[in-house]
Structure 1
Amino acid sequence: MKKLLALTLLLLSNAAIGGAPAPRDGQHDFDWEIGAWGTQLKRLREPLSGKTDWVEYAGTSVVKPVMGERANLVELDVRGGAGRIAGVSLRLYQPASGQWTLHFANLANGLMTEPMHGVFKDGRGSFYGQDTLDGRAILVRFLILPMDAGRWRFEQAYSKDGGQHWETNWIAIDTRRERASTNVSPTGK
């Protein structure tokens, strides 16, 4: 099953970026995000259950470059009627493939998710990975989409059928609060 999931992820990732990725310099793909952001987040309370109960949160995301700007660290802290979500995402650039890996750790349980792999193309980020939900293997898709120069949408979806159908379960809209001192455009160029 794991081999099938890995193959499916590779095919989804390649399809999302238009074929097998050629090595490229995507080291600055996330430069636009360095700084502080206000975050409005909603998440599906019980993903892949058929239920449609969403919970909302508000707070901040702070993004910092690390490791000579070949990685960055996101600190997420949001609160809402369902409690608090506090976590950290480590994003690592892989120069040989021109791809990024995204690793998320939830501070509530102290666990790090399996990495997601992907790239930015035409100003949009597409990342894929695998996880488990209620003991079953699932695929995860994470999209990063520009709304305008100061707002971005982060959308997570799960698939229980190998990527044929996706259910969005996490939508965050980040609005810039403070821009770090960097001279890059919102598309990272």
Structure 2
Amino acid sequence: MGDFDFLAGTWNVLNRRLTKRLAGSDDWVEFTAPAKGWTLFDGMANVDEIIFPDGTRGLTLRLFNPATRKWALNWASSETGTLFPPVVGQFTDGRGVFYGEDTEGGAPVRVRFTWSEITENSARWDQAFSIDDGANWELNWIMDFTRS
């Protein structure tokens, strides 16, 4: 409980995203976006919204399961209004790692979200995909959060 309390408040987010995923690309696009987070359920839930430069909004709903002691992270985009499949995991020694299953370009992928480098005024999130059940990972999105 309370692992995501650090995200409450407003943030400036530096995004670096691969232009083509799972294609051997090394071409990254970089942009900034504002974000705002809220803690709910006395630290057992967290929501944040990010506004991308094209006006698209992203929302993450994080829910803590006290029985399993794990978090489920659920992403949604204003483009679709639907939740992507969740990634599930936990924090250990200040680092959160979360795994799930999804598709990319119609093919199944294993997804990993990592939260790290968390301080009172900064944090890092990254996303990686694997097409070989986690033997190899392609990092495809990095967000560096700085409190505004």
- Per-residue displacement from partner, 1:92-144 (whole Å, max 9, x unpaired)? 01000100000000112223110100001101110001100111110000000
The match for 1:132 among 100, 103, 110 is 103
Alpha-carbon distance in structure 2 between the residues aligned to 1:43 and 1:84: 17
- Fraction of identical pairs, as percent: 37
Alpha carbons 1:39, 1:78 under 8 Å: kept: no
Query: Unaligned stretches of 5+ in structure 1?
Result: 1-26, 178-189
2:28 is aligned with 1:57: no
TM-score, length basis structure 1: 0.74
**Relative CO higher for 1 or 2, CA cutoff 8 Å, sep ≥ 6?**
1
Select the structure that is richer in helix: 1
- Per-residue displacement from partner, 1:41-87 (whole Å, max 9, x unpaired)? 011111101122211221111110223432111101122xxx45421
Map of 1:20 onto structure 2:
none
What count of residue pairs does the alignment treat as equivalent? 148
Alpha-carbon distance in structure 2 between the residues aligned to 1:144 and 1:165: 19
Matches within 5 A, 1:16-165: 27-79=1-53, 83-146=54-117, 148-165=119-136
Query: Unaligned stretches of 5+ in structure 2?
Result: none
Q: Which has the larger radius of gyration?
A: 1
Select the structure that is richer in strand: 2
- CA RMSD after TM alignment: 1.4
